[in-house]
Chains A and B, each alone.
Chain A
Amino acid sequence: MRELYVIGVYEDFRLDVFPTHAVPIVAERSEHGFRRWSYVIDRPYRLRAVAPMGEFRPSLRALFPVVTFHLCTPRRLHEKSQCIVLSTDHVLVEHRRMAIVARLLIAILIAPPSLGFVHRALRTIRNAW
């Protein structure tokens, strides 16, 4: 059984758009390193791995000719995993919707006061459901 991980998201955060959903970069991990996988997002929401892309590379950075995406610590992929970027340092990978709502509400409480952040957090809760 292949072990698939979320290793980042297909976005490069040059603007403050936090928090927001972003589509994950999915990779397989083995003793040879990492190999990207293509996948499809089905409706109702489910990530379905399609096929491996390219070859195994020794590190996450080596998977891209130029790194223009946001990479994060690898987390195990669940077919219902949603990726929510709370800040450049924090990518939430979670498949339980209640946990997503709880984490976003906590983020609103501890975030510096910004109407934009609160607005986007509430929109993200709606999008997650």
Chain B
Amino acid sequence: MLAISRVLTLNKLHLLENLCGMARRDALPPSDYFHFGRPVEDPPLLRGSMLLSLRPQFLSDNLAWFDYGSPVDTGGIRFGFLKPSDPAEFLAATMCGYERFSRLMAELSTLPQYVQEQLAVHRKTSEAAPVLTKYLDASVTAFMLDNDRPDAWFFEFCLRAGYWIAAEHVEELAIPDTYRDVPIFQRLRTLLGARLRTFNPRFGCLRA
């Protein structure tokens, strides 16, 4: 199955605190969005200072906190970057529950490797059409197949407040080398070992 990723800023400190067991019990982290595949690099739409890559098991471990999944970036529709003919109706059609979304992702993961590589970088691929048609509304499939933009092939999901994230979910956390000696990152380094990687922040986390 495709890996899950998330570009972070220090605004998502609650996620990192939760990850290293520092979160306060009375302050649940807010709902958060994640997506399958790599961050969007061409054009680079998502920016931040850190890159968190998670194992697919993160999705199944959070069944109880799953709010919705969507193959198309819902934020992009809400803010007008993506323009279906009727945005409200389209949002209702593209948002799916856990069962449908997890089955869709599982079946996409059975496609040939080269198709999965296209999906991981959010590139339109007509080879995925039969699977999309099986699980999604016809209007959503048509919109995706008509659209070259990476946010139309985003495969995001939203988890409600209180979701579970632990060291075993993390494939890699890449942070700027200037953050390395800040206490929370020292703690994460102990926890993640070689899975905590540093980079020169001048080039950003997408090109790290």
Give A contacts to B, CB under 8 Å.
Answer: 10-17, 19-23, 25, 38-41, 43, 45, 50-51, 53-55, 65, 68-69, 82, 116, 119-120, 123-124, 127-128
CB closest chain-B residue, reference A45: B202
State the CA gap A25–B204 with chains docked (Å): 12
Interface assignment of B11: CB less than 8 Å from any CB of chain A: yes
Q: Which of B41-49, B53-61, B130-138 contacts A (4 or more CB under 8 A)?
A: B41-49
- The residue that B80 contacts in the complex, of A51, A54, A128, with Cβ under 8 A, is A54
Interface assignment of B85: CB less than 8 Å from any CB of chain A: no
Q: Which of B112-120, B162-170, B175-183 contacts A (4 or more CB under 8 A)?
A: B175-183
Tell me the minimal C-beta distance from B79 to chain A in angstroms: 5
- The residue that A25 contacts in the complex, of B47, B78, B181, with Cβ under 8 A, is B47
State the CA gap A20–B11 with chains docked (Å): 16
State the CA gap A14–B13 with chains docked (Å): 8
CB closest chain-A residue, reference B75: A65
Which residues from B are CB-within-8-Å of A128? Answer: 202
- B10→A12 contact, CB < 8 A: yes
Interface assignment of B9: CB less than 8 Å from any CB of chain A: yes
CB closest chain-B residue, reference A70: B9
State the CA gap A53–B149 with chains docked (Å): 12
Interface assignment of B184: CB less than 8 Å from any CB of chain A: yes
Q: A12-B9, A68-B9 are in contact. Are A21 and B202 (CB under 8 A)?
A: yes
CB closest chain-B residue, reference A13: B10
Tell me the minimal C-beta distance from B50 to chain A in angstroms: 9
Tell me the minimal C-beta distance from A104 to chain B in angstroms: 12
- A21→B201 contact, CB < 8 A: yes
Give the most central of B48, B178, B201: most A CB within 10 Å.
Answer: B178
Interface residues of B in 60-102 (CB under 8 A from A): 75, 78-81
- The residue that A17 contacts in the complex, of B45, B78, B79, B179, with Cβ under 8 A, is B179
Give 26 A-B contacts (CB < 8 Å), ordered by A residue. A10-B9, A10-B47, A11-B9, A11-B10, A11-B49, A12-B9, A15-B10, A15-B13, A15-B182, A17-B10, A19-B178, A21-B176, A41-B202, A43-B207, A45-B202, A45-B203, A50-B43, A51-B43, A53-B81, A54-B79, A65-B75, A82-B202, A120-B178, A120-B181, A124-B178, A128-B202
Interface assignment of B139: CB less than 8 Å from any CB of chain A: no
CB closest chain-B residue, reference A128: B202
- The residue that B176 contacts in the complex, of A13, A20, A54, A82, with Cβ under 8 A, is A20
- B202→A17 contact, CB < 8 A: no
Which residues from A are CB-within-8-Å of B11? Answer: 12, 14, 68
Seed contacts A11-B48, A17-B10, A116-B181; 12 additional CB < 8 Å A-B pairs: A14-B11, A20-B176, A38-B44, A39-B44, A40-B43, A41-B203, A41-B207, A45-B202, A51-B43, A119-B181, A127-B177, A127-B200
